[in-house]
Structure 1
Amino acid sequence: MKAKMMRKKILVIAPDFKPILGGVSEYAWQFSKGFSDCEAEVKVVTQNHEASKDFDNQSDLEIIRTKFIARTGAKLTFLNRLKKLFSLISLALLAKKEHAIFHPDIVFLPSMYPFAFFLKFKNSKIITTFHGGELLVHTKSSKFSFINKWILRGSCKNSDFIFANSRYTKDQLGEYVSGKSKILVTRCGVDWNRFRKLPDIDKLRDKYNLQEKKIIFSLGRLDERKGFDTVLKCLPEIIKKVPNILYLVGGVGPMKNRLEEIIKKNVLQNHVRLLGKLSDTEVYEYMNICDVFAMPNRETANGSVEGFGIVFLEANCCCKPVVAGNSGGVVDAVIDEQTGYLVNPYESKPTTEALIKLLSNTNLTLRMGHAGRERIEKEFTWSKITQKTYKKLCELNMS
């Protein structure tokens, strides 16, 4: 007999939440909003932020924040690590208090899996989310990896269900979860309303003075995992085939100086612009201006890996083909040779060849871009993903 869609009370405990930028905060926000749209009663407990007040005033969700303001993006000095720890302890105490008041059916942890280990939530089912990257970083690179593995196993054991953002993440969890039946692959999505309207590209190119340019766009934190240095190293060969190429890079991060060194060494100043931090409007515009989106992501020595790659879906949503690294959970975000190319990210040649192929063939870029957009509309809008997930939760034994 088919289970009824029962109204659930869901307490979301999210260290990373809007207005903080990033994939994890977007994931937490979209699932919270999506569950609420499915008529669940949702309460969010999260950290404070400088811009929280304006954001919360515009949201229909009930959002409870810690008094302590979390500083995001700060260099991890000893003092900042202590501040981060204090912020997380404050969040845990607030979560326990709100749980006792709210009496939720479900406690949803969009990140920070150790909360499932350290905090006990009586009479509630616990759903813990894994995004892929934390599994390798916490268990491979740290000198305390044996402690991290112990906490990870305990967190999985204490969780009634586990959300994995890709098949890759689910496979990585196999070592820590007895019985994969409690793991649900809940992929990330795209805010369709944000990207559905395609703008006048010529007007945008006039605005940024980019007419007559072939444009590669990259977006993300400037760190080793993203592979932006690989694209820069490809440019000398690309320029020979596509002399009017311009590479635009949006984002900030620790690798900025290294990228600037590569630009200077290869005399690429006329072909590269590091755009810095971009607003949502600028992201939308640059995504639509570009011919190809590129991020040949890779696993780093310390185990950092791309767990899924929402940014590839956003590019596809704007009818842009993508060039992505065949690493981590990105294989769920990109269909090779249909919505873009999955390349070996540890060598520059495959990335060079994929980019030249796309930049030299307008029909190919249009075909792949439109295939990507159709796929997003059918499978990857946040509303479809959250509705499907909520229905699944109601069908499972959540009583």
Structure 2
Amino acid sequence: MSDAKCLIVTTHYKPLVGGAQAVYDALADKAPGNFGVLTGKRDFVRRNEVSSWQAFDESAKYPITRIERLRPDMLGDKPNIASRLSSHFSARKIRHEVLDAVVKSYKEGGYNIVCIGALDALGWLVEALQEALGIKVILYTHGEEISQTAYNERAEKARERYLSQADGVIAVSSFTSALIEKKYGVPKDKIKCLGNGVNLEKFRARPTENVRVPLGLSAGPLVLSVGRLVERKGFDQLLRAWPNVLTVVPEAQLAIVGSGPQEDELVAIIDELGISKSVQLLGHVSDGQLPSLYASADVFAMPNRTLPDGDTEGFGLVFLEAAAAGTPSIAGRAGGAVDAVLDGKTGLLVDGTDIGAISFAVTEFLTNEVRCGEMADAARAHALTQGWEDKASELIAYMNGLLDGVEHNADEGTP
């Protein structure tokens, strides 16, 4: 039986903040002998070098190789013809550099399989590596790159080609898996559903540190939300539902952790509704404080929704982290959140576009102590079965099967 040693290739990586890079880091950290990463030194969004990447790489348990970039910098909002042409020719040059770097890392690192972690930007590597090295190549998908339509028909066709060429496809939720099969015609037995995990080292002992005082929160009922401040997360709808919550639980407080492009809009909603006394936008909260903040909340709420362009939540790791801290969740009945929150057991699923449904769910948790406590216990028990150690082992077993030519059972896997 083979022992998979996988090179993960992704356009950007930690210490940048983001869901995909957190997943790859967690998997590699739990099985450092089976994984390595090839990524870029450059942040293509901000168009500068990633801050402190050297220190992060030195502290990692697994090998990380960095080249300057794996894709061109993102263009501005209104790129002119010259900048478009420059980006096009730059992309062709970068492709040659990336392929050379992957082949070199693959050979020197003793790898036997490659995982591509950026479908749109790096999917072209699937065929190129199969031809250059005759190896197995898999794609790791997280949701939004499947649910959102690509920027033109040519790019959509490219996605379909990359997915069909790959030897296997990882999907982080049953939603993503089903969509890959339906939208791009990928056979079900080619897709491995591997739900995200949780860092049990942080949560095995229930967090007890009092972080409310240093964060300026009172002792009253607390609703917590954590995530990048973007529309699909539903922070705007949660704020609009908040006055209804206050009519039932006037001492309730809402804390939102994170930053992002929707921040100014959220501040405007808070001002418009006159709820600033009971709502706090906390911005960044350190990783050391987050477990205790999750644990100190009465309920975690992020009523995500699918946007008209298909943008949706691929899984929702924050729901699992809240559960691990013993806090039940309210999530939108959309995207992969339906796998992260077990409706009626570890939390409640609501229509993220329905302000009434959101406010009812919040008040249900804040006023029904018995039900809230039962779901809190169930949430923690479930989360403690979803550790990254098991996820890494499951992925390695799947890759071993690919290397040995063992047929994958599409019904296996954890959502």
TM-score, structure 2 length as denominator? 0.86
Q: Note the alpha carbon deviations across 1:132-152, whole angstroms, 9 max, x for none.
A: 11112234xx3x1x1122111
- Indicate the SS of the match to 1:204: coil
Structure 1 residues 187 and 199: CA distance shift in structure 2, 3 A: closer
User: How far is 1:213 from its partner?
Assistant: 1.4
Runs of 4+ in 1 over 6 A off after TM superposition: 69-75, 79-85
Unaligned runs of 5+ in 1: none
Which deviates more from structure 2 when the two are superposed, residues 229-238 or residues 99-108? 99-108
Does the aligned pair in 2 maintain the 1:117–1:158 contact within 8 Å? no
Q: What is the CA–CA distance in structure 1 between the aligned matches of 2:349 and 2:167, rounded to whole Å?
A: 35
Q: Note the alpha carbon deviations across 1:273-329, whole angstroms, 9 max, x for none.
A: 111122212322321221111000001122111011111000000100100000011
Please name the residue that 2:305 is paired with: 298
- Indicate the SS of the match to 2:265: helix
Q: Note the alpha carbon deviations across 1:8-44, whole angstroms, 9 max, x for none.
A: 33211022322111111111112223343xx42x331
Please name the residue that 1:181 is paired with: 189
Q: What is the CA–CA distance in structure 2 between the aligned matches of 1:71 and 1:56, rounded to whole Å?
A: 22
Q: Note the alpha carbon deviations across 1:219-242, whole angstroms, 9 max, x for none.
A: 111111000011111111111111
Structure 1 residues 76 and 319: CA distance shift in structure 2, 3 A: farther
AA partner of residue 386 (structure 1): A
- Indicate the SS of the match to 1:275: strand
Does the aligned pair in 2 maintain the 1:50–1:69 contact within 8 Å? no
Q: Note the alpha carbon deviations across 1:70-118, whole angstroms, 9 max, x for none.
A: 9999976649997897697455553243235446310012333552334
- Indicate the SS of the match to 2:389: helix
Question: Identity over the aligned pairs, expressed in percent?
Answer: 26
Does the aligned pair in 2 maintain the 1:115–1:155 contact within 8 Å? no
Q: What is the CA–CA distance in structure 1 between the aligned matches of 2:348 and 2:22, rounded to whole Å?
A: 25
How many residues in Structure 1 have an aligned counterpart in Structure 2? 386
Q: Note the alpha carbon deviations across 1:197-217, whole angstroms, 9 max, x for none.
A: 32335x333444534311111
User: How far is 1:68 from its partner?
Assistant: 5.0
| CA RMSD after TM alignment | 2.7
User: How far is 1:63 from its partner?
Assistant: 0.6
Please name the residue that 1:43 is paired with: 36
Does the aligned pair in 1 maintain the 2:180–2:186 contact within 8 Å? no
TM-score, structure 1 length as denominator? 0.89
Structure 1 residues 134 and 257: CA distance shift in structure 2, 3 A: same
Q: What is the CA–CA distance in structure 2 between the aligned matches of 1:316 and 1:22, rounded to whole Å?
A: 20
Say whether residues 1:240 and 2:274 are aligned partners.
no
Structure 1 residues 223 and 53: CA distance shift in structure 2, 3 A: same
Please name the residue that 1:22 is paired with: 18
Q: What is the CA–CA distance in structure 2 between the aligned matches of 1:104 and 1:62, rounded to whole Å?
A: 12
Match of 1:10 among 6, 9, 27: 6
Q: What is the CA–CA distance in structure 1 between the aligned matches of 2:391 and 2:147, rounded to whole Å?
A: 26
Please name the residue that 2:148 is paired with: 137
Match of 2:398 among 387, 392, 395: 392
Q: Note the alpha carbon deviations across 1:122-165, whole angstroms, 9 max, x for none.
A: 221001011111112234xx3x1x11221111101220011011
Does the aligned pair in 1 maintain the 2:252–2:278 contact within 8 Å? yes
- Indicate the SS of the match to 2:64: strand
Structure 1 residues 209 and 11: CA distance shift in structure 2, 3 A: closer
